[in-house]
Amino acid sequence: MRRQLTDRFRVTADNAIIGVTKAGAHRLDIDVERRGLKEAARMLVEAGGRYLVGIGCDNIAREHSLGLIHAFSFDRDDLFVCLRTSAPAADPTFDSITPLILNAGWSERECTDLLGMRFCGHPKPKKLVLADDWPDGVYPLRKDVPHDFVPPAAENVAYVLDEAPPGTTTVPVGPFHPSLHEPAHFAVYVDGETIKGCDYRGFMTHRGIEKLCTTQVSYNEVPFIAERICGICGSVHATAYSQAVEQAAGIAIPRRAEYIRTLMLEIERIHSHLLWLGVAGHLIGFDTVFMQAWRVREQIMWLCERLTGNRKTYGMIIIGGVRRDITPETAADIRGVLDTIETELRGLKRAIEHDTAIHKRTKDVGVLSTAETIQWSLVGPVARARGVDIDARRDHPYAAYGDLTFDVPVFTGCDVWSTLLVRLLETFESIGLVRQVLDKMPAGPLFVPCADEIPPWRHALSVVEAPRGEAVHYVVTGEENRPDRWRVRAPTYPNLQGVPAMLLNEQFADFPIILGSIDPCFSCTDRVVVVDGAAGATRTMTGAELSELSRSRTRKA
């Protein structure tokens, strides 16, 4: 595949190809003039490439330009392809590839918000990451904007929703709602009880982790920040980032460390799937499933505390290896816990499989065809439940996965029920993987030191299969012992973009479980929308009003 792509790009794309470079054993970099970007992206899709993420880079100080990278995966060939281009800082305009690749929509909007790029032909050029009152012309990911920049306050500035389809009513869900894991705002357009569309507004409190880690901390401190990107997938993000830096620095970590990383990743997967199973039960009103799944999950959390000192945010993964060993005593502890939860989980699985109430609430609900799933570039259990056979652990082996055997559950029901089955079966596969790790783990050191200085401007791409789907980390090395650019794409990022299509023509009562089926991970929020029930008018409550409301209600109490 690598040679086919190289030969094809050298003779096509209207002479816009600057160069094709083999960047390591599993990555190909294709540099293209911006006028040929859209055609080059089309060629990658037609060749079977699956879109991962777009990365914008501020190269103004060095090259007077803004760089743009679109990353693709050729899963069956264990190959990543990075399509790279740039534009002068004075005219950072690119052709949008969103009409061709729907999931590129958010990446392009994010580049617009954070770096000031413009994308001609984008179907929805609205704000994505920045707050509604963020000042125009200030692009926080540019290097001339301080990491602690605080924009002036602005009141009564509201997000403009998409136009509702004719004959529909807008039902707001969120930012705070019992059916949501975390704050987010969905405007759901309904005709009676039937959903005819929705608009999503998230990123309400953006933590600026990428900016922080390219301005204030060192390479070796980032893994502990990466762990806090997600409340569940801490080891996933720490591993993905560490692998990218190790790749850029040319570091080969000890084999025992790779096995311990795999152990932590699979324990984390068991924890995540059990948590989701409980939440799913709660969302459909079946709290017995919720209580039983979380009772089993609690044993995993106790185990993690014994292994690492924490129930979560384990602090195990560092650049060059891991921080703690697995002793014979802890290995025996792990095996004992696995035996217990496997037995209890089998009983829970039998109960779920034969429960007609669960079937009615999940079968033929949240349907999205295999073709649409591919079109939206969805990942993880959401994709595998819709006939898309992808899994980075198998397709792009990392850590110790190349030494292990496991099945990748794939179903073609294309609904919430199939998603539930994928997660259930994956939990058993993870139990088997942990046992294999303990059986095969070699002796040896846990860590190799990183070089005192990593050469700047090296690019690295790392993918790790999180419980929700693949997490993608792109690192450009920099000066002052820190990354110049670090781009993180969590699995919820692509999957959320497919939610409106999953909701279309479904019943509003099924909104919670359809959204919950992707196991979304949102950011926090700092807004409250006030609705006048009599007049139907809405407005955004200011920070001062919210503060006074809180104080007045407290005084009355």
Most confident of 106-120, 138-152, 347-361: 106-120
Cis ω before 92 (30° cut-off from 0)? no
pLDDT value of position 534:
38
> CB 104: neighbour CB atoms within 10 A?
24
The residues, any chain, with a CB within 8 Å of residue 411's CB and separated by 6 or more, are 384, 385, 386, 387, 418, 421, 422
Taking residues 180-191, report their average pLDDT: 82
| 227 within 8 A of 315, measured Cβ to Cβ | yes
Taking residues 504-516, report their average pLDDT: 92
Taking residues 283-305, report their average pLDDT: 92
| Residue 339 CA, distance from chain mean position | 31
| Mean pLDDT, rounded, of the chain | 89
**pLDDT at residue 126 tops 50:** yes
Higher pLDDT residue, 531 or 56? 56
Q: How confident is the model at residue 543 (pLDDT cuts 50, 70, 90)?
A: very low
How far is it, in rounded angstroms, from Cα 409 to Cα 394? 12
> 42-88 pLDDT, tens per residue?
999 999 999 999 999 999 999 999 999 999 999 999 999 999 999 99
Among 74-83, 128-137, 524-533, name the one with the lowest average pLDDT.
524-533
Q: Give the three-class secondary structure for 190.
A: strand
| 254 within 8 A of 446, measured Cβ to Cβ | yes
Strands (E), 414-477: 459-466, 469-477
Instruction: Please give the model's pTM, rounded to 2 decimal places.
Output: 0.90
| 77 within 8 A of 92, measured Cβ to Cβ | no
pLDDT value of position 163:
86
What residue type is 75 in one-letter code?
D
What single string gives the DSSP state of each residue in 120-188?
Answer: ET-S----SSS-TTPPTT--TTSTTS-TT--PPP--S----PPPPPTT-EEEEE-SS-TT-SS--EEEE
**pLDDT at residue 539 tops 70:** no
- Tokens at residue 502, please? 């999953």
pLDDT value of position 453:
84
Cα dihedral 282/288/294/298 (nearest 10): 160
| 400 within 8 A of 262, measured Cβ to Cβ | yes
Domains in the chain, CATH or no CATH each: 2-160 (3.30.460.80), 268-448+500-516 (1.10.645.10), 528-557 (no CATH)
> 394-420 pLDDT, tens per residue?
999 999 999 999 999 999 999 999 999
> 150-177 pLDDT, tens per residue?
888 777 777 788 888 999 999 988 776 6
Cα dihedral 328/334/340/345 (nearest 10): -150
What residue type is 25 in one-letter code?
A
Q: How far apart, in Å, do the first and last CA atoms of the chain sit?
A: 69
How far is it, in rounded angstroms, from Cα 66 to Cα 117? 8
Residue 42 burial (C-beta neighbours within 10 Å; 0-12, 13-18, 19+):
middle
| 241 within 8 A of 223, measured Cβ to Cβ | yes
Sign, Cα dihedral of 500, 506, 511, 514: negative
Helix/strand/coil percent split, the chain, to 5 = 40, 20, 40
> 477-486 pLDDT, tens per residue?
999 999 999 9
| 114 within 8 A of 140, measured Cβ to Cβ | yes
pLDDT value of position 79:
96
Phi, psi of 269 (to 5 degrees): -65, -45
| Pairing label, strands 538-540, 529-531 | antiparallel
- Tokens at residue 26, please? 């599993």
> 198-250 pLDDT, tens per residue?
998 888 766 788 988 999 899 999 999 999 888 888 999 999 999 999 999 99
How far is it, in rounded angstroms, from Cα 101 to Cα 82? 15
> 428-487 pLDDT, tens per residue?
999 999 999 999 999 999 999 887 789 999 999 999 999 999 999 999 999 999 999 999
**pLDDT at residue 546 tops 60:** no
pLDDT value of position 52:
98
Residue 50's nearest CA partner among 287, 318, 388 is 388
pLDDT value of position 11:
58
> 355-379 pLDDT, tens per residue?
998 999 999 999 999 999 999 999 9
| Pairing label, strands 118-120, 93-95 | parallel
Residue 158's nearest CA partner among 500, 524, 542, 546 is 542
- Tokens at residue 340, please? 């217990």
What residue type is 402 in one-letter code?
G
| Residue 19 CA, distance from chain mean position | 30
How far is it, in rounded angstroms, from Cα 37 to Cα 68? 10
